[in-house]
Structure 1
Amino acid sequence: MTDDFKDTSTPTPESVDTSTGTMADVEEIMKKYDRESNTRIWTGTPGKIIKYVMAAFALLMIWLNLFANWDERIRRCLFLGTIIIFAFLMYPLRKKDAGKVNHMPFYDVILMLLGAGSFFYYIMNFKAVIDQATRIGQLEVVLGIIGIVILAEACRRVVGLPILFVAGFFVIYSFAQGKALRVIIYNLFYTTTGVIGTPIGVCSTYIVLFIIFGAFLEGTGISDFFIQVANSIAGASKGGPAKVAVISSALCGMVSGSSVANTVTTGSVTIPLMKKTGYRSEFAGAVEASASTGGQIMPPIMGAAAFLMAEMVGVPYADIAVKAILPAFLYFLGIFIAVHLEALRTGLRGLKKEDLPHFGKLVLRQGYLLLPLIILVWMVMAGFTMARSAVIATLVAIVVSMFRKETRMTPSGFITVLENGTKNTISVAIACGVAGIIAGVVTMTGLGQVLISAIVGMSNGNLLIALMLTMLTCIVLGMGVPTTANYIIMATTCAPILVSGMGVNAIAANMFVFYFGIIADITPPVALAAYAGSAIARSNPMKTAFTATRLAIAAFIVPYIFVMSPALLFIETTPLEIILIVLTSIVGLFGVSAGLAGFIYSKMPIWQRILSVVGGLLLIYPGLVTDIAGVALVGVVIALQFVGRKKESKEFPTFNN
């Protein structure tokens, strides 16, 4: 095609801004939007003391889970009381106080001691409190109130307000039901149905150990290995750097329990590459954010959610990991298709093959880095406890890190990794404690049945409407909440609505709410992963978030597929049904992605885009009639695009010199 007919609106590597943000830019934008990024700075002797105490706490958690035989209530109180100490040590009252060196005002010291003291009092007077049951004395009531209020304040500092609004509504509801203050405090503070209930129980046993495991695994250099593997697979294809981002984020994200951390880790490498090859800033940041967020639905680890879901649903971990395979595949395939269409639309090429690593040689040279993951999955599936599996896998990660000089762990590095493990646990543990309040009120008041009746009534018994209402609830409740705590809230409040009210399979319902809780990280207005990506890409945060939402359209579609067609989760199905549902889903995702991108072989007029999206959605809805109609519509659009391209090439032939 001659220059006269060149699409000047299409960006080229020469015309696109290739500048990228620094880690300082990331920190600045995350401090604006993310509570976890606003921390105090401790240096010198105070810093060393806090560092060693945090490292010792991580070791204590390992010892408790492997060898101790303490009462669950004592262990959970010790865990949460200590976490409250760390929360006030690290997070100031206001954002503007963050960054101050070795500074902690007296009122924070008082709040820290009162909050932790409430839980430690329970430990020291455990038998007496248990014997009193709901007849607890005035002192216990006061300490329970103090503990809950200070936990809420810690949550405001570390996690943010959305989850507190939800918990506050639930507590007000319990008073509206006529429950006495003494009964409410006893249930929410002193029993395993409240603050120290299942969420904190899971956090203090499984989640903390997997966070520590993830910290050590990161120290082996596995993130760089995953990026190199992705480069060797897709780097040379059209729009290669973006496809590298999708693959590497899927691999890195399954271990990371944070969409933001995953975005920053892999995005610091992939986003500059995308921009250099011609991708727009918003698109580059959005690709990384959407892929990094999806990393947490990637089996076998799923950011520790697989283990948590197994506990909540009451099924073996292996069942969850296997059932998550096809939905995760479709999610990343949806992003992959969107990236490929963008590369075709803008004429972007891949990286030079000679500059990329060879897959076989790379695996032979660094494949040993996968040993900790392999050992972890094998041990869990072989019947070992999840705690023991996590600890053994951590030890393997430490050994693996010794193989190369640049990753070899020194005593100082070992302490630092343990400290990071504790730091990464703070936000999850605080959120889990508040999630326990929500779960406690649901148990104490029977509010779950009220919510079920409300959703069923509003949907008039229609499953699709009920799913949409549940989806909106999950996205709102999930804004700014750490993934694991996010899932606990969803599983406590939303999943029972689908299971009891609409007859949805328990695993499908839990997977549904998990998906929509997670994509809150890229859904405006609170899209923390997208904001992190925009900081590196130097793009507009909100535009990046909307682009990420479009790219991750599969995340809004796939959950509906496996709820209405459980064959996708290998539930009560046959191989033929699985093949059919996967094929129709792939064509459906292509139709929706193409319609949103507005391009297959050439620019699509609006009516073709509408036909493509409608056809894709019809393929997603189960049924022979809808499948035939969907294939017909998407097929017609593809045919029209193909014919249009042929016609265009005849009118404007390309001449080779």
Structure 2
Amino acid sequence: MKEASKSPKKIDTEIQEKPSYIETLWKTRGSKWNRARVLSLIIAVLAIGLSLFHIYTAGYGTLPSWQQRSVHVIWALLLIFLLFPFKKGKEFGWVDVIFVLITLATAAYMLFDAQGIQSRQGNVSTNDMMFGTVLLALILEATRRTNGLLMSFIGLFFLAYIFLGQYFPGALAHPGVRYGKVIDQMFNSTLGIFSSPIYVSSTMLILFVIFGSFLMKSGGGQFFTNFAFGALGNKSGGPALSAVGASALVSTITGNGAANAAITGSFTIPLMKKLGYKKKFAAAVEAVASQGGQIMPPIMGASVFIMAEATGVPYIKLAFYALIPAVIYFLIAGFIVYFHAKRLKLEGIPKEQLPSVKEVLLKQSYLFLPIALIIGLMIYGFSPMKAGFYAIIATVVLSWIRKKTRMDLLKILAALENGTKSALAVIAACAMAGIVVGAVSLTGLGLTFSRFMVDLAGGNLFVLLLLMAVASIILGMGMPTVSAYVILSILGVPALTDLGVNLIAAHMFVFYFGVLSGLTPPVAITAYTTAGIAGSNPNGTALYAMRIGFGGFFLPFIFVYNPQLLMQGGNTLEITLVTVSALISCFLLAASIEGYFIQLLSVIQRILLFVGAVGLVVPGIAGDLFGIAALIIVFLWQKSKNNNVPKQLSA
């Protein structure tokens, strides 16, 4: 079967974004006003206002710490209760009105008595306890609406653990904490709700989300997509390779796997299906690429900003450290897609039906300049906030180079609105993560859990890594990556560092598995999103995505044992050797998974390549020699004229 024969006359790579409320209202400005239009206007004005607040504070200085974070949280809560109804799929109703009024009352108390609340740390008042309790309840409900019941339940569990610690078994038990101290930690200070996750969310994170919204509105996402299809579309497996490239590039802007899958998957998945790929494969490829965008520099996902705060390492350095593993992740997915196409004899799309790379670069490459500006400013020493601030301005200015990308006032307002709306779920998740941070601090759970995991593993690092990987995937199910990472970094990283794992490698380990939880059933949000677009079985798609994205599950073990892959330790030669070894390992792994190398692989050949891939990542020369020997043996075996070719595998 050849893709070329089924190719459409012209490949449509246009990204279709959902119109913002402000754009819809403008287009229907002659219509009569009703409740729905009034509500849309209120949401649009509040969302635009929050974006403007954060852009202004990024450029001209933030409010004092507690005030900045409290404004951020309470404004976001108000929008959540307006935008996400109490019952999913229903209209805004009287229950939502009650939540809005309670939020406004809490906001008034927090804003008008901000200094008093902070001054009463250690001696909370009755009003503090009342409004602190209300705020906790509002965050739990907002999290349920935006991130699901499971995430809200996790917050409830940690709150219950604070008060009921004496009923927990063994080392997990603690005497409990009085209520006043809990409210003091959670509400009056910056050690609970307003701790590091909300600090990051209210400064760097939301600004980069807003920047991503501006970049999408200016056509940056379209540029990345056209470039990926022009560069890769004519190769074997071209449509799938292009989907990997386009989704990886666009998801570095969006920072959200499921959201990105909905944006790019709307055209990559139907295109792959039309050109001969089975719907399960098409959905799985898009899921792997979209979810992996969170690990790809320079933008990456929200978790890396929190990682920078936790490790004390600047964000731009963490992005640099993460570059090699991220590239390898997508190379593995690309190798698997390529071998899949070769196995099924699928060809690429004719060049004349694809965007011209030269033309795309000549006409649209200026849209990459804001990202380059962010990188340059942060390398030069600017804070992420300042870099994001100037990048937003640059995006608007550069958009005026061509009429097609020009951002007028309506597009600017739409970008401001979409930026805030895109951040709401993450803000709620960060507030919930703050509750977890406060609970761990109050109870000493972090140290207890670390000792428990080390004891359970018997002091064996490999066993501990397996336990942490499973725990990371389970905790990450149905949760945004940022929430999963915060919990895992608090509970899991100390256990890893106790056994000698490099600090950056330990954080990256739990971060990777938190990201990959979006692909693992029974709750695989990103895979389920792409399955819905493709019309494939959700769990079957998730399992296939795990197969294509297996490198992501493999890589964290590589850089724990070889931290040079993260630029941690070693000289240039050692880093180069480890990188080359990892690349060869991942090539062998992809061939083994897909069952194809020069031609179809036998079972013995697949096993030999898989063991060789493992050998290449085990520290020491013996493993490297075995891996290279496995590659040479299979290569010569497949090249030999007497090779007994197995029957073709099914798609």
TM-score by length of 1: 0.89
Give deviations 1:254-303, integer Å, cap 9, x for gaps.
12111112222222332233223321111111111101111111111113
1:475 corresponds to which of 473, 476, 498:
473
| Matched ranges for 1:285-324 at <5 A | 285-324=283-322
Shift of the 139–644 alpha-carbon distance from structure 1 to 2, 3 Å rule, reads: farther
Shift of the 648–202 alpha-carbon distance from structure 1 to 2, 3 Å rule, reads: closer
Equivalent position amino acid for 2:74 in 1: G
**Structure 2 partner of 1:369:** 367
Contact 2:329/2:555 (8 A) holds in 1: yes
Give, in whole Å, the separation in 1 of the partners of 2:458 and 2:467: 12
Shift of the 511–113 alpha-carbon distance from structure 1 to 2, 3 Å rule, reads: same
Higher alpha-carbon deviation: 354-363 or 146-155: 354-363
Equivalent position amino acid for 1:71 in 2: P
1:404 corresponds to which of 389, 402, 405:
402
**Structure 2 partner of 1:342:** 340
Equivalent position amino acid for 2:274 in 1: K
RMSD: 2.7
**Structure 2 partner of 1:153:** 141
Contact 2:336/2:594 (8 A) holds in 1: yes
State the Cα distance separating 1:60 from its structure 2 match: 1.4
State the Cα distance separating 1:646 from its structure 2 match: 5.8
2:93 corresponds to which of 104, 129, 145:
104
Give, in whole Å, the separation in 2 of the partners of 1:66 and 1:362: 33
1:509 paired with 2:506, answer yes
Equivalent position amino acid for 1:132 in 2: R
1:461 paired with 2:449, answer no
Shift of the 464–53 alpha-carbon distance from structure 1 to 2, 3 Å rule, reads: same
**Structure 2 partner of 1:144:** 132
**Structure 2 partner of 1:588:** 585
1:193 match: secondary structure: coil
1:640 corresponds to which of 634, 637, 651:
637
2:613 corresponds to which of 592, 613, 616:
616
**Structure 2 partner of 1:49:** 42
**Structure 2 partner of 1:59:** 52
1:481 match: secondary structure: coil
Give, in whole Å, the separation in 1 of the partners of 2:397 and 2:478: 36
Contact 2:247/2:290 (8 A) holds in 1: yes
Contact 1:299/1:324 (8 A) holds in 2: yes
**Structure 1 partner of 2:210:** 212
Contact 1:297/1:303 (8 A) holds in 2: yes
| Matched ranges for 1:172-211 at <5 A | 172-175=160-163, 176=165, 177=174, 178-211=176-209
Give deviations 1:306-363, integer Å, cap 9, x for gaps.
4332222111233212111110111011001101110111000001122233323321
Give, in whole Å, the separation in 1 of the partners of 2:401 and 2:301: 26
Q: Which runs of 5+ in 1 are unaligned?
A: 1-9, 28-40, 652-657
Shift of the 54–614 alpha-carbon distance from structure 1 to 2, 3 Å rule, reads: same
State the Cα distance separating 1:644 from its structure 2 match: 6.4
**Structure 2 partner of 1:357:** 355
Equivalent position amino acid for 2:321 in 1: K
**Structure 1 partner of 2:412:** 414
Contact 2:3/2:349 (8 A) holds in 1: no
1:503 match: secondary structure: coil
Give deviations 1:406-454, integer Å, cap 9, x for gaps.
3322322222211111111110110000000111111222111001101
Equivalent position amino acid for 2:70 in 1: C
The total of aligned residue pairs comes to 617
Give deviations 1:175-210, integer Å, cap 9, x for gaps.
213211111121112211100111111101111111
Contact 2:450/2:491 (8 A) holds in 1: no
**Structure 2 partner of 1:165:** 153
**Structure 2 partner of 1:606:** 603
Give, in whole Å, the separation in 1 of the partners of 2:6 and 2:401: 44
Shift of the 648–174 alpha-carbon distance from structure 1 to 2, 3 Å rule, reads: closer
Give, in whole Å, the separation in 2 of the partners of 1:218 and 1:365: 16
Equivalent position amino acid for 2:533 in 1: I
1:403 match: secondary structure: coil
Shift of the 447–304 alpha-carbon distance from structure 1 to 2, 3 Å rule, reads: closer
1:70 paired with 2:63, answer yes
Give, in whole Å, the separation in 2 of the partners of 1:407 and 1:442: 48
Higher alpha-carbon deviation: 541-550 or 581-590: 581-590
Equivalent position amino acid for 1:624 in 2: I
State the Cα distance separating 1:477 from its structure 2 match: 1.8
State the Cα distance separating 1:123 from its structure 2 match: 3.1
Equivalent position amino acid for 1:192 in 2: T
Higher alpha-carbon deviation: 372-381 or 164-173: 164-173
Give, in whole Å, the separation in 1 of the partners of 2:37 and 2:338: 51
The runs of at least 4 consecutive aligned structure 1 residues that moved more than 6 Å come to 10-16
Give, in whole Å, the separation in 1 of the partners of 2:403 and 2:355: 21
Give deviations 1:445-473, integer Å, cap 9, x for gaps.
21110011011001111111111111112
1:569 paired with 2:562, answer no
Give, in whole Å, the separation in 2 of the partners of 1:239 and 1:94: 43
Give, in whole Å, the separation in 1 of the partners of 2:637 and 2:576: 27
Shift of the 596–118 alpha-carbon distance from structure 1 to 2, 3 Å rule, reads: same
1:248 corresponds to which of 238, 246, 249:
246
Contact 1:13/1:279 (8 A) holds in 2: no
Give, in whole Å, the separation in 2 of the partners of 1:263 and 1:645: 45
1:254 match: secondary structure: helix
- Name the % identity: 36
1:441 corresponds to which of 431, 439, 460:
439
State the Cα distance separating 1:11 from its structure 2 match: 9.2
State the Cα distance separating 1:119 from its structure 2 match: 4.8
Give, in whole Å, the separation in 1 of the partners of 2:426 and 2:630: 45
1:571 match: secondary structure: coil
Contact 1:11/1:346 (8 A) holds in 2: no
Give, in whole Å, the separation in 1 of the partners of 2:35 and 2:347: 47
**Structure 2 partner of 1:283:** 281
Give deviations 1:15-69, integer Å, cap 9, x for gaps.
99xxx9xx9xx99xxxxxxxxxxxxx97323312321221112111222333245
2:403 match: secondary structure: coil
Contact 2:196/2:306 (8 A) holds in 1: no
Give deviations 1:200-259, integer Å, cap 9, x for gaps.
111011111111100000011122211221122211111111111112222112121111
Give, in whole Å, the separation in 2 of the partners of 1:288 and 1:443: 39
Contact 2:43/2:83 (8 A) holds in 1: no
Equivalent position amino acid for 1:555 in 2: G
Contact 1:80/1:433 (8 A) holds in 2: yes
Give, in whole Å, the separation in 1 of the partners of 2:378 and 2:632: 45
Higher alpha-carbon deviation: 162-171 or 534-543: 162-171
Give, in whole Å, the separation in 1 of the partners of 2:371 and 2:291: 20
2:625 match: secondary structure: helix
Give, in whole Å, the separation in 1 of the partners of 2:642 and 2:189: 68
TM-score by length of 2: 0.89
